[in-house]
Amino acid sequence: MKRAYVFPGQGAQVIGMGRDLAEAYPSARAVFDEVDEALGERLSALIWEGEIAELTLTQNAQPALMATSIAAVRALEAEGVSAMDAAFVAGHSLGEYSALCAAGAMGLSDTARMLRLRGRAMQDAVPVGEGAMAAVLGLDFDAVTAIAQDAAEGEVCEAANDNDPAQVVISGHKAAVERAAALAKARGAKRAMLLPVSAPFHCALMQPAAEAMAEALKGVQINAPAVPLVANVKAEAVSDPEEIRNLLVAQVTGRVRWRESVAWMAEQGVTQMIEVGAGKALSGMIRRIAKSVDVVAINTAADAKTLAERIGEAHV
């Protein structure tokens, strides 16, 4: 069976995520300890016992979600299932950093520090209240792109996340995004709703954050991943460290081409995708994109054991 590991992005965070893994596997606990040390604070305490409003702050959510994903990777390794045996890794937005860490392209401490910086830079790029994002359900990418262009009226309004055949997220100036949401409903969208995010991610307004990441990533060791990365902005596999570095910068303002990325992996013969970390949002998207692909979400120790048993039985 040809597998891909996929890693969730912002929005999947919940208080308590990863705690079960840390309690069951010393290697998973060590992930949270290392992230705490890298950031100089007990992020793990916020993740497991804090307030959801604080965890949802971009600068906290990004390293927290990555830590939870890598803890799940370590749990799978403890059960004899390695991400290094996958055909590809991929991640949704910040999940791309989790994917690179899982594939050995970036060290865990560096990944945590980059995501803390990325979260702050993205938050600071646009004053609070000036930007917005909205999810449009029931229209395809081309239709939503046209709506964003028609609604812009000289402001920024772009398709930011092409998530699945009937879910596209738009991002930009708040007034323009509100116009686009209204226009989407008028043009037949099932729903068009503003998202509870603190900044307009993956659009031209993030250029200051892209510049900050370009500078920060200059000082980070990036190795060729042991498993090729299907990059958000290319929707195909890359392995060259300098290309990965450049794509991580481009990703800040660029579109998350998730629908195309999943379809590309399916075209390469991937028959199972393992969502590693918090939530099951990607699993739902994958099922709508590539109906023949088996999707498994790994959130808990029980999930890790169940997958290991399934894989072991398949090899008997």
Active site residues: 93, 202
The CA distance from 55 to 42, in Å, is: 12
Distance CA 16, CA 51 (A): 10
Nearest to 28 by CA among 83, 68, 81, 85: 68
Give the Cβ contact number of residue 240 at 10 Å: 12
Q: Which two tokens stand for residue 207?
A: 């250029």
- Cα-based distances in Å from 301 to 22, 38, 132, 296, 308: 9, 25, 36, 14, 11
Neighbours of 316 (CB within 10 A): 4
Edge to edge, the sheet with strand 272-276 lists 237-238, 229-230, 88-91, 3-7, 272-276, 294-298
The partner residues of 135 in beta bridges, in order of sequence, read 169, 193
Contact at 8 Å (CB) between 123 and 199?
Answer: yes
The structure tokens 């709508």 sit at 288
In degrees and rounded to multiples of 5, residue 177 shows phi and psi of -65, -40
Entry field: residues in the chain: 316
**Residue 235 near residue 261, CB atoms below 8 Å:** yes
Q: Are 170 and 163 in contact (CB under 8 A)?
A: no
Q: Which of 216, 223, 33, 211 is nearest to 109 (CA)?
A: 33
Report the alpha-carbon distance of residue 288 to residue 282 in Å, rounded. Answer: 10
